[in-house]
Homo-oligomer: A and B are copies of this chain.
């Protein structure tokens, strides 16, 4: 099943599990996939910014994406294919789709600095991967330094029929959701799925502004699922109560660099990953940071039992 603009819910950004010696950890990959789906996630996204993708060679990247897609069964898997050149992008995109992926995700390279250049880039990307591959536009200016205001996103979506989803992680970003939904109301933008990133740090209000869900990687994706559900059914106070309980941890996990270490550590503590190892060059948690995470877990456990974990060794 290919991804389309009706996608909604939670597409969790999956890390790439490694053994401490740097090899891919297939058992953890399978267990992680199962855990995410059992948590209620609607889909998975692999090889994203937090997926350590540049540390995998081409064969490894394709193999990992294929494994997750196979394990996920009917649940859609999106594969990050951003690359410095269209040859590598095409190879991974075609290979992943052949292996069962539902779509791919593309971020614009940081040197694009005007609307024409951004549009040209995405046209060329579509030419490279093929018009039959549905893709997600990643809008993450804090990292990629490319700024796409609502009207530019509308142009990209209009000119590229195979673009079916926006991974929204501009900051600030609430008005952008309102603007895009406003375009749709006035009939100048076709249907488009909007899933939000940025670790979910604005998901409480993003849902209220019209987002379809989340595509992000918090270590409690089951909370994201609940939040999206509560918000969808209009249970505002309950949604914010749940969100606020998790916000101290969401904020901690959102830190660049350190964040992936926190995420893998918590997923290991939850029994999902066998190890929190990153492939080299890796960033590790200091003892102080690990103690802070444990302290946050302890405080969170009072309000969300999912954070009640056996003591770390």
Contacts and interface: CB of A to CB of B under 8 A. Distances in A.
A91 B208 CA distance: 44
A180 to B, nearest CB: 14
Contacts of A56: 85, 87
A6 interface: no
Interface in A136-156: 141-142, 145-149, 151-152
A152 B178 CA distance: 26
A114 B244 contact: no
**How many copies of the shown chain assemble into the complex?**
4
Main secondary structure of the interface of A (DSSP, over half): helix
B286 A178 contact: yes
8 contacts: A54-B84, A84-B84, A113-B113, A113-B145, A114-B118, A124-B280, A142-B142, A244-B299
Given A115-B115, A175-B288, A244-B299, 16 more contacts: A54-B88, A56-B87, A83-B84, A113-B145, A113-B147, A114-B115, A117-B149, A127-B280, A142-B142, A171-B255, A171-B256, A172-B259, A174-B288, A178-B286, A243-B248, A247-B248
